[in-house]
Structure 1
Amino acid sequence: MRAAALLALLAAAAPAHAASLDGSHLSLPWAVPFVGILLSIAIWPLAGPGFWHHHYGKIAAGWALAFLIPFALMFGMDAAWAGLVHALLAEYIPFILLLVALFTVSGGIYIRGNLRGTPALNTLILMVGGVLASFMGTTGASMLLIRPLIRANDNRKTNAHVVIFFIFIVSNIGGSLTPLGDPPLFLGFLKGVTFFWTAAHIWPDTLFLVVVLLIMFFLLDSFFYRNEGVRREDPTPDDERFGFDGGINFVLLGCVVALVLMSGIWKPGVVFNVYGTEVSLPGLVRDLGMIVVTFVSLAVTPKAVHESNQFGWGPMEEVAKLFAGIFLTIIPVIAMLQAGVDGAFSGVVRAVTNADGTPNPAMYFWATGMLSGFLDNAPTYLVFFNTAGGDAVELMGPLAVTLAAVSAGSVFMGALTYIGNAPNLMVKAIAEDRGVRMPSFFGYMVWSFGILVPLYLLLTWLFFR
């Protein structure tokens, strides 16, 4: 109710044009709501999962109001409304509509049958998932493949490592090539990064990581497979033929890809100004198309498919509420970063900048990556995208290595912890529900840091020196 009242008050005072926010006039306390909501996301699900499950929406709203109310009082309703409208129309709504469409479409596809979890088959599933992740999102690919992968290995004594490498490859690294793959890259797309830019610039990095991880997995899985001895009775024996149910959703997935491509290629020059925020006709068509795809998927997908996939709106509802708070509280942080050395985050800017004033790609890779691993990779990407200047044209041109470092760091290092990327916890929960003994939060980090950090160091030497 308090949030609704504030929005109504802001709407009543809406200006015709947005006022620009000079980040050099803002101090560090304006970043507290943003840091607060990220720390809440990182800590509460572990420290108080029951409380978090019932109150995460209120917590996100509280942090959003902790920014909006003081901001409106200090800078006026015009500035607060301008920031709110821009956050909603330019970033949040397109972001959420894409995630909802991919979530719905992937939830409408069910892989039936029970395969045999040999090292070769497991490696093949991980490879296929890594490719699919860039075209149906890390969440979509993870939800599509994790259940059949677990069924294939549910009679093996040692199978947690299969899920761990699945999180590495499918839930994170595989989604690094297109804006469809991972939320940070779609935010970059909304900021002006072209659809195929990321694929063109970090495909060698992605290929290197995926190939090395697949080889490591095959060798490790082969070792466990050979030394398991007598396997337990298969709890899900073959009782139906292998195949796909809800196949029409593959067509709808193609529609999602086409809509995103269209919005990046079609340039009719038609722009609508909504309280100072420019909304292009292609972007509007894309967003409306996502809504249509979502409703068509829900209408044509058989109920049995959703039941088999245990499809529900809980995960999407959580993402929608949390990112509403994130996109609002990040407004002053971005403004302060764009102010460069004149802003409150001058220390951050200097830390990722060489002595001659040029960006240091290696520092951008590690700063973006480590924060992505422990906070959330989408807002972290935005933070360092703006630290590097926030101009997509310049970042894709003279500063291409820096943008590649930010993109790679935010996607790759989301695999370092269970909370680095949304699919990580979802995959863990599904695996544990089906009897897989997954490692604890810190136990998982032993795996991730032991395997991934040496690879990231080598990647830095190869591509970001």
Structure 2
Amino acid sequence: MAPLIAEVGHVKHLVDATALPPLWLAIPFVVLLLMIATGPLFFPHFWHKHYPKIAVFLAAFVVFYYFFFLKNKVKPVEAAAEYIQFMALIIALYVTTGGILIKVHAKATPLANIILLAIGAIAANLIGTTGASMLFIRPYLRLNKHRIKVYHIVFFIFIVSNVGGALTPIGDPPLFLGFIKGVPFGWTLVHNIMPWFVAIVLLLAIFCVFDKKNKASVESENDSQVAEGIVSIKGSKNLLWLAVIIGAVFLDPTVVAWVPTIDYHGHHISFLRELIMLAVALFSFSTADKKILTSNEFNFEPLNEVCLIFIGIFATMMPALELIGAFAQSAYGRQLITPNTLYWGTGFFSSILDNAPTYLNFTAASMAAQGANISLLTDVQAYAAGGVYPHSVMGLRAISLASVFFGAMTYIGNGPNFMVKSIAEQAGVTMPSFGNYIFRFSIPILLPILFVVWLLFFACSS
């Protein structure tokens, strides 16, 4: 216990010495998490009415402290830029997919659901977990409308909204951040394919057990459903808008040199990509078939909830991420950095923080522990290639997989989780509370699978 106390004191000294935030400034983030976890369960009326004020107030408090006490305007501006980038992609994908109507003409059998979930998992790597979630959640709900249960939505979040997107930088924001830092585009496919396959197969197998029991209890309700074909798609022109959004993802100054940027204290910020995405959202919505929007029960409430909740999350998690980074780069923290601890550490914080900045912080700490700099393209490329730095490939693999997979552990681990939850609730599904989701589904179902992945691919690595 004494060394741990001494190390905490060392981190506190490091925080003070480098003008990092005090430890207590992480309290607003903890408060927000607790409110998200308990509000819908214990005081739902108050929470649903006042959560925007709570999120904005806590965000404003932390930003105010950074501006006027820490004299640090760079971190809040960075967080604001990341929030805009995050929301622009969410908005563009949500609005554009809302104009696409997919109908599956089949009985709601376990096999039909497994096929749909598997297609969604693969699609997540082509249009992102957000795009795949928004595109497939509505046909998934329609297919199972006579037998929909909570587990249907939870497994959708597990498979399509998170684990599925681990194979390409497009799949999930953490992997894209790694790509623009210098990790080769095909790196994730080469190194993540087997853990991805194992996790997806195990999740689908467990889902099948759940769904077969459900099928037996409601089979008579589905007997009247007659297949009319396989799949029908309306609003296919919006697929072109989706292609524009995915293309715009690569308009980053670190990828395309001619992209105009704003130089802010050495940080090159560009909003060309975000302007294109928001323009696509506007054009796709204004030209969408209103009948399709009605059939999809399209509205902006899920978007509003994510927008407001994540204002609070992005702002209040600033001190938490800085303190994590300070500890990881301290003498004691560096001793702890192995592929095993990177997997579980990245996973834990990706569950309760946004997984994209968690990926960056743990990658930066892991590289710094071996004398590499995440800001240098050549260092990142050498770190991803392996050979120069011990255990670098295995460490980066652990961070990549954990940041994506563990995002499914809570509603706030990844942006699409909240949106899927909100859409399901609007469709009449009573979703579990924050804590109930974790203790009823994440811990007993998802966590053992993540343990198996660790056991097979990381346990003997260090």
TM-score by length of structure 2 reads: 0.79
Q: Which letter maps to 2:384? A: M
| 2:24 paired with 1:29 | yes
Question: Counterparts of 1:287 and 1:436 in 2: how far apart (Å)?
Answer: 33
Aligned pair partner of 2:155 in 165, 172, 176: 165
User: Greater shift after overlay, 433-442 or 412-421?
Assistant: 433-442
Question: Counterparts of 1:23 and 1:333 in 2: how far apart (Å)?
Answer: 15
| 2:99 paired with 1:121 | no
| 2:359 paired with 1:372 | no
Report the alpha carbon displacement of residue 117 of structure 1 after superposing the two structures with TM.
1.2
> Which SS does the other structure have where 1:274 is aligned?
strand
| 2:245 paired with 1:256 | yes
Report the alpha carbon displacement of residue 131 of structure 1 after superposing the two structures with TM.
0.9
Aligned pair partner of 2:45 in 24, 46, 50: 50
| 2:383 paired with 1:391 | no
RMSD: 3.5
Q: Which letter maps to 2:86? A: F
Q: Give per-residue Cα distances to partners, 1:16-47, cap 9 Å, x unaligned.
A: xxxxx974654312333333334433333443
> Which SS does the other structure have where 1:150 is aligned?
helix
Report the alpha carbon displacement of residue 173 of structure 1 after superposing the two structures with TM.
0.8
Report the alpha carbon displacement of residue 54 of structure 1 after superposing the two structures with TM.
2.7
Q: Which letter maps to 1:409? A: A
Question: Counterparts of 1:435 and 1:26 in 2: how far apart (Å)?
Answer: 43
Asked if structure 1 preserves the Cα contact closer than 8 Å seen for 2:343 and 2:398, the reply is yes
Asked if structure 1 preserves the Cα contact closer than 8 Å seen for 2:183 and 2:384, the reply is yes
> Which SS does the other structure have where 1:106 is aligned?
helix
Identity of aligned residues (%): 38
Q: Give per-residue Cα distances to partners, 1:202-256, cap 9 Å, x unaligned.
A: 222111111232234345534554x447512679888999511211111111112
Report the alpha carbon displacement of residue 437 of structure 1 after superposing the two structures with TM.
6.6
Question: Counterparts of 2:43 and 2:181 in 1: how far apart (Å)?
Answer: 36
Report the alpha carbon displacement of residue 62 of structure 1 after superposing the two structures with TM.
1.6
Equivalence for 1:295:
282
| 2:442 paired with 1:451 | no
| 2:97 paired with 1:106 | yes
> Which SS does the other structure have where 1:261 is aligned?
coil
Asked if structure 1 preserves the Cα contact closer than 8 Å seen for 2:238 and 2:284, the reply is yes
User: Greater shift after overlay, 228-237 or 130-139?
Assistant: 228-237
Question: Counterparts of 1:118 and 1:375 in 2: how far apart (Å)?
Answer: 36
Q: Which letter maps to 1:324? A: I
| Correspondence 1:9-88 to 2 at 5 A | 23=18, 26-76=21-71, 79-80=72-73, 82-88=74-80
Question: Counterparts of 1:240 and 1:200 in 2: how far apart (Å)?
Answer: 36
Residue ranges of structure 2 left out of the alignment (5+ in a row): 1-15
Aligned pair partner of 1:245 in 234, 238, 241: 234
Asked if structure 1 preserves the Cα contact closer than 8 Å seen for 2:253 and 2:259, the reply is no
TM-score by length of structure 1 reads: 0.78
> Which SS does the other structure have where 1:231 is aligned?
helix
User: Greater shift after overlay, 117-126 or 146-155?
Assistant: 146-155
> Which SS does the other structure have where 2:221 is aligned?
coil
Cα pair distance change 1:115/1:428, threshold 3 Å: farther
Equivalence for 1:12:
none
| Correspondence 1:426-445 to 2 at 5 A | 426-431=419-424, 434=427, 442=436, 445=439
Aligned length: 428
Asked if structure 2 preserves the Cα contact closer than 8 Å seen for 1:172 and 1:414, the reply is yes
> Which SS does the other structure have where 2:154 is aligned?
helix
Aligned pair partner of 2:458 in 454, 459, 464: 464
| Correspondence 1:147-158 to 2 at 5 A | 147-156=138-147
Residue ranges of structure 1 left out of the alignment (5+ in a row): 1-20
> Which SS does the other structure have where 1:263 is aligned?
coil
Report the alpha carbon displacement of residue 109 of structure 1 after superposing the two structures with TM.
1.0
Question: Counterparts of 1:326 and 1:439 in 2: how far apart (Å)?
Answer: 21
Q: Give per-residue Cα distances to partners, 1:297-326, cap 9 Å, x unaligned.
A: 112211122222122222223323333333
Cα pair distance change 1:315/1:238, threshold 3 Å: same
Asked if structure 2 preserves the Cα contact closer than 8 Å seen for 1:337 and 1:386, the reply is no
| Correspondence 1:128-143 to 2 at 5 A | 128-143=119-134
Q: Which letter maps to 1:360? A: T
Q: Which letter maps to 2:448? A: P
Equivalence for 1:363:
341
Cα pair distance change 1:67/1:163, threshold 3 Å: closer
Asked if structure 1 preserves the Cα contact closer than 8 Å seen for 2:409 and 2:442, the reply is yes
Equivalence for 1:410:
403
Q: Which letter maps to 1:446? A: R
Cα pair distance change 1:462/1:105, threshold 3 Å: same
> Which SS does the other structure have where 2:233 is aligned?
strand
Q: Which letter maps to 2:167? A: L
Question: Counterparts of 1:330 and 1:439 in 2: how far apart (Å)?
Answer: 24
Equivalence for 1:11:
none
Equivalence for 2:302:
315
